[in-house]
Amino acid sequence: MGKTVELLEAKGIVKTFPGVKALSGVDFSVSAGEVHALMGENGAGKSTLVKIITGVYRKDAGEIIFNGKSISPGSTLEAEQCGISTVYQEVNLVPELSVAENICLGRQPKKLGFISWGGVRKRAVEALKRLELDIDVSKNLSYYSIAIQQLIAIARALDIDSKLLILDEPTSSLDEKEVAELFKMLKKLRGQGLGIVFITHFLDQVYQISDRITILRDGGKVGTFEAARLPRLEMVGRMIGKDPEQVKSMEKKREIRKVAGKEFLKAEGIGRKGMLFPMALEIREGEIIGLAGLLGSGRSETARMLFGVDPSDSGKLSIGGADTDISSPKKAVKNGIAMTAEDRKVTGIISDLTIRENIVLALQARAGAFRTYTLKEQYALADKFIKALGIKTPDADQLIKNLSGGNQQKALLARWLAMEPRLFMLDEPTRGIDVGAKAEIEKVMDELCEKGMALLFISSEMEEVSRNCDRVMVLRDRRKIGEISGEDISLQAIMKMIAE
Amino acid sequence: MEEKQKIFRDNIFKRLFWPLMALGLLLLFNLIFTKGFFHIEMRDGHFYGTLLDILNHGSKVMILAVGMTLVIATKGVDLSVGAVMAVAGAIAALLIVQVESGWIFVQGCTLGGLVPFLNAHHMSWFLPALAAIMISLVAGLWNALLVAGFRIQPIVATLVLMVAGRGIAQLITDGQIITFTNRGLTFIGNGHFLFLPFSVWIALGVFAIVAIAVRKTALGLFIESVGNNETASFYAGIEAKTIKGFTYVVCGLCAGVAGLIAASNIKCADSNNAGLYLELDAILAVVIGGTSLNGGRFFLAGSIVGAILIQTLTTTMYARDVSPHVAAVPKALVIIIVCLLQSETFRRKAMGILKTFKNK
Ligand SMILES: Nc1ncnc2c1ncn2[C@@H]1O[C@H](COP(=O)(O)OP(=O)(O)OP(=O)(O)O)[C@@H](O)[C@H]1O
Ligand SMILES: [Mg+2]
């Protein structure tokens, strides 16, 4: 980085929310032609900093200099006009509009003052092609999975003619191939002199692409480092405020466990027309099962079927030996089955309710409307999980939408852990959760598995699957193609089965 | 713990601040400019006066607003309540006439025979009133079926009954205005009980029953959850459909009760005018009370205050001899101001503008 000209310079940024000091005098600078990673624990203030730079929030104090001029954008549109283009952590496009409209929103190509719909389509198709994505742009955004939506949001950001590109956890739902495609694109843009800010909790990705790393902790800046001179352990240590030795001792490996629990769920020939081919399935108490497969192989669909969101239309299923019919999430919950789905914003958080209400929701739904938990019980429960999972909040009465992304995810896990499920299905559960919290959560899960809870685990990081699971079910093209268990589980074995 | 409950109470107070403020100002205006507005007198052990008239006339919108609050909290709306009032009134009027003419055998159908010191005559109102409530229950179930069962947009779904309802009422009364004199039935909308008009007690009763039913159980939480994010609520194991349907049934029942009061007020069933446009007043009352049309959080007490504010406005117009043709204009103005003041964005912007003026 020979250049010293900074493209963006934020100085002494302060932002306070009721009860939370989100940023306390943070300096942050990005130069042209670099990828700058912004790192920190959940709730460290990364997204808040981004939102201040891009005009979503107003700063309480500080100054932002962009391209030599002091700016203070009042809206995202203003920031875009200055030349700052952003992908936010929560995809903030319009679900009811078409993909094409979403990509060109606010910048529609015009002919004689009227929107040229042909132009809109063409531009959208081109923007998506840059990410090697070939989809029907006239379909509504909500038609597509969260991963595709994320790619669309990125395509939109890349399409804006900008000097600074900010990506807040853009890869949280993407699989390896898509990430590689994105990185290729980013490297090209970096070559063209764009400044790029990149936020993620995937440490590997940080080292793959970034030139410099800035670490935030509790709303303050820890420091800015050359990526090449900051070893991984040291980075984690600085993020969570421990020294590298302590971090090392945290990263212990799970030993392979022998599970001989009782049978919990057994299914024969369950499937759903147009979604999943019939499959057989067995889940034992205390077992950790992984679902492996490529994007679109039917992993999430399997979980959704078992949870009764898209119930099976064939075969039979028994729980604890008794024939059961799981035709709705309510029935699943009654049978002690829990699930967190991939799309947190749509299927998870009830944004205008408090953390406490969000946490008691599933428990209360299972108990029914007339067996109410007293406020005291509710606070006890919420406080217990806020502590156990390290949810960063002043108290349980905050609205859940005011939590940082990773902390929202923790609150959702708490919702299900609270009802002590017998089978917990997790679809990309640790996405957006920081390294420290990941360890905490794994600990909580392990304890529950000891007590007999079965875990069904979906992750596009095959590495994670092969490392954590007692048994792996492999899916391809909406069909279960086999199982691997115990000592035989390895990344290679899974890959081989998928490829065969 | 106590501190937390204090926060809770503060929140409620904050929500009610602007509507109460508007109500206070309006009353102040009347105290200064409208003679006799605050005059209350005691006759035969009951209070009379403009303020009591406001409560008496406002009771219908209060009751409607209670049901409407729940519906709106689920992100829905019920346009049919006015028409359902007409149907309920028509049924009650029709039956009371039949009962009194002996066309229906009263003894067997009423509780008259069971309660020793009442005779059939005293209880003759019971069967018609019950029938009115039943028909409104059916109306509520119908709306629930369309909205929750068939997933029809609430505005469209309840429009069906809004239009058809008055036709049904016409059919029931055979196009006539049926008048009645039954003591029991006229008492509902004209009688007094414990100093106050009886209809006010009914409104308080409905409010109390619904408030307890939703706040002392988890129903309120489920309603807010479904209104805020239906998909996520479904994933959490809540039967979103049932919850939504439930609110329409409650709303229908409330309309039935309000319909009885409306008919009783004027001692007749007027299919064309009973409850006309009251659905709009009810929706307004809910919005003024702080419940958002986007669904989610709801405030029953706020809706009651909203209903009282609307009725006070109307009564003020009458008291000041504003012609009914123009009365809508000041009414609309006050309502817009209250709604604007409730919007935080507006308050912030307004403060900003005020500040720049000061600085100049
Ligand atoms: N609108 C808001 N109202 C109140 N508090 C907020 C709001 N937005 C953020 N916060 C708080 O500010 C802090 C920083 O949040 P921020 O979203 O910036 O974290 P983050 O570093 O992006 O975390 P994550 O990795 O989980 O996304 C958190 O404690 C959060 O609860
Ligand atoms: Mg964030």
Of B137, B186, B163, which is closest to residue B279 (Cα–Cα)?
B163
* A347 → closest Cβ in B218, B232, B238: B232
Q: How far apart are CA B96 and CA A71, in angstroms?
A: 75
Comparing A429-433, A493-497, B130-134, B251-255, the range with the smallest average pLDDT is A429-433
Evaluate whether A456 touches A483 at the Cβ level (below 8 Å): no
DSSP-derived letter for residue B21 is H
pLDDT for A1 equals 42
ipTM of the complex: 0.87
Chain B CB within 8 Å of residue A413 CB: no
**Other beta carbons within 10 Å of B38:** 12
Ligand index nearest the alpha carbon of residue A22: 1
Packed helices B183-190 and B198-215: angle between N→C axes, nearest 10 degrees = 70
pLDDT, greater one: B108 or A82: A82
**CB A346 to CB B7 under 8 A?**
no
Confidence of residue B41 (pLDDT cuts 50, 70, 90): confident
Angle between helices A375-388 and B2-33 (to 10 degrees): 130
Tokens, residue A237? 């240590």
Is A346–B229 a contact, with Cβ atoms under 8 angstroms apart? yes
Please check whether residue A269 is in contact with residue A280, taking contact to mean a CB–CB distance below 8 angstroms: yes
Tokens at residue A230, please? 């900051």
| Residue A450, C-beta contacts closer than 8 angstroms, at least 6 positions apart | A286
Question: Could you give the percent of chain B with pLDDT greater than 70?
Answer: 90
B60-101 pLDDT tens trace: 999 999 999 999 999 999 999 999 999 999 999 888 887 777
Mind giving me the DSSP string for B42-64?
A: EETTEEEEHHHHHHHHHHHHHHH
CB-count burial class (<10 Å; 0-12, 13-18, 19+) for B22: buried
pLDDT confidence bin for B201, thresholds 50/70/90: very high
Strand-pairing partners, residue A322, are: A319
Can you tell me which atom of ligand 1 is nearest the CA of A51?
18
Per residue in A204-241, pLDDT tens? 899 999 999 999 999 999 999 999 999 988 888 888 88
Kindly report, residue by residue over B285-303, the tens digit of the pLDDT.
Answer: 999 898 988 899 999 999 9
Give the pLDDT band of residue B114 (cuts 50, 70, 90): low
| pLDDT tens column, B235-269 | 999 999 999 999 999 999 999 999 999 999 888 88
Per-residue pLDDT, averaged over A469-475, amounts to: 89
Q: Where are the domains of chain B?
A: 51-321
Task: Provide the whole-model pTM.
Answer: 0.89
C-alpha–C-alpha distance, residues A213 and B72, integer Å: 48
Q: What is the mean pLDDT of residues B120-146?
A: 87
Residue A192 half-sphere exposure toward CB, CA atoms < 13 A: 14
Of B5, B85, B60, B72, the residue nearest B283 (C-alpha): B72
Q: Kindly give the number of the ligand 1 atom that is closest to the alpha carbon of A404.
A: 17
Q: Write the DSSP assignment of A385-410 as a string of letters.
A: HHHHTT---S-TTSBGGGS-HHHHHH
pLDDT confidence of residue A252:
54
The 3-state DSSP class for residue A466 equals helix
**What is the number of alpha carbons within 13 Å of residue A348 lying toward its C-beta?**
27
Chain B contact for A140 (CB, 8 A cutoff): no
Residue B75: its H or E element: none
Query: How far is C-alpha B357 from the chain's CA centre?
Result: 42
- The residue to mutate among A169, A402, A409, having the most atoms of ligand 1 within 8 angstroms of its beta carbon, is A402
How close is the nearest chain B Cα to the Cα of A319, in Å? 18
Distance between first and last Cα of chain A: 46
pLDDT tens column, A261-320: 888 999 998 999 888 899 999 999 988 899 988 877 888 899 999 999 999 998 899 998
Average pLDDT over chain B reads 86
What residues of chain A lie within 8 A of the CB of B232, using their CB? 346-350
Band of the pLDDT at A158, cuts 50, 70, 90?
A: confident
Please state at what angle helix A176-191 crosses helix A146-159, rounded to 10 degrees.
10
Query: What is the atom index within ligand 1 of the atom nearest the CA of A403?
Result: 31
CA separation for the pair A140, A171 (Å, rounded): 22
Q: What is residue B2's predicted lDDT score, i.e. its pLDDT?
A: 47
Higher pLDDT, A465 or A341: A341
Residue A208 sits at the chain B interface (C-beta within 8 Å): no
In the predicted structure, residue A256 carries a pLDDT above the cut 70: no
- Confidence class for position B340, pLDDT limits 50, 70, 90: confident
Return mean pLDDT, chain A. Answer: 88
**Token code pair at residue A463:** 């590495």
C-alpha closest to that of A87 among A205, A25, A166, A149: A166
Which tokens sit at B193?
């009980």
Q: Identify which of A333, A364, A395 has the shortest CB distance to residue B218.
A: A364
* Statement: residue B113 has pLDDT above 60: no
C-alpha B221/C-alpha B229 separation (Å) is: 12
Note whether A370 contacts B239, CB cutoff 8 Å: no
Alpha helices in B216-239 (DSSP H): 219-228, 230-235
- Amino acid code (one letter) for B316: T
pLDDT digits (tens, 9 = 90+) for A426-451: 988 777 888 888 888 888 888 888 88
Q: Residue A3 has which token pair?
A: 């250049």
Which residue, by CA, sits nearest to atom 25 of ligand 1? Answer: A42
A138, A98 contact by CB (below 8 A): yes
- A399 close to B (CB below 8 A): no
| Three state DSSP letters for A169-227 | CCCCCCCHHHHHHHHHHHHHHHHCCCEEEEECCCHHHHHHHCCEEEEEECCEEEEEEEH
Q: A368 contacts in B (CB within 8 Å)?
A: 218
Q: How far is the CA of A291 from the centre of ligand 1 (A)?
A: 32
What is the enclosing helix (H) or strand (E) of A114? strand A114-115
Ligand nearest to the CA of A45: 1
Cβ A43 under 6 angstroms from ligand 1: yes
Q: What is the pLDDT of residue A258?
A: 59
In the chain, the amino acid numbered A282 is E
Q: For residues B230 and B108, which has the higher predicted lDDT (pLDDT)?
A: B230
Q: Does A458 touch chain B (CB under 8 A)?
A: no
Q: What is the pLDDT of residues A92-128, one digit of tens each?
A: 888 889 999 999 887 777 777 787 888 888 889 988 8
Is A3's pLDDT higher than 50? no
- Taking an 8 Å cut-off on Cβ atoms, the answer to whether B222 and A309 are in contact is no
Cβ-based contacts under 8 A for chains A and B:
87
User: Across residues B141-151, what is the average pLDDT?
Assistant: 96
Within 8 A of A334 by CB-CB distance, chain B residues are 237
Q: Which atom of ligand 1 is the closest one to the Cα of A48? A: 18
| Distance from C-alpha of A480 to C-alpha of A482, rounded to nearest angstrom | 6
Q: Is the pLDDT of residue A255 over 80?
A: no
List domains and CATH numbers for chain A.
6-242 (3.40.50.300), 263-499 (3.40.50.300)
B218 contacts on A by Cβ (under 8 Å): 364, 367-370, 372-373
CA distance linking residue B217 with residue B4, whole number of Å: 19
Cβ neighbour number for residue B8 with a 10 Å cutoff: 12
Query: What is the C-alpha separation between B114 and B122, in angstroms, rounded?
Result: 12
Q: What is the pLDDT of residue A447?
A: 84
Element (H, E) at A143: none
Assess whether pLDDT exceeds 70 at residue B136: yes
B contacts of A376 (beta carbons < 8 Å): 1
Closest CA to A458 of A222, A294, A345, A323: A294
Q: Chain centroid to CA B8: how far?
A: 25
| Smallest CA separation from ligand 1 atom 18, residue | A45
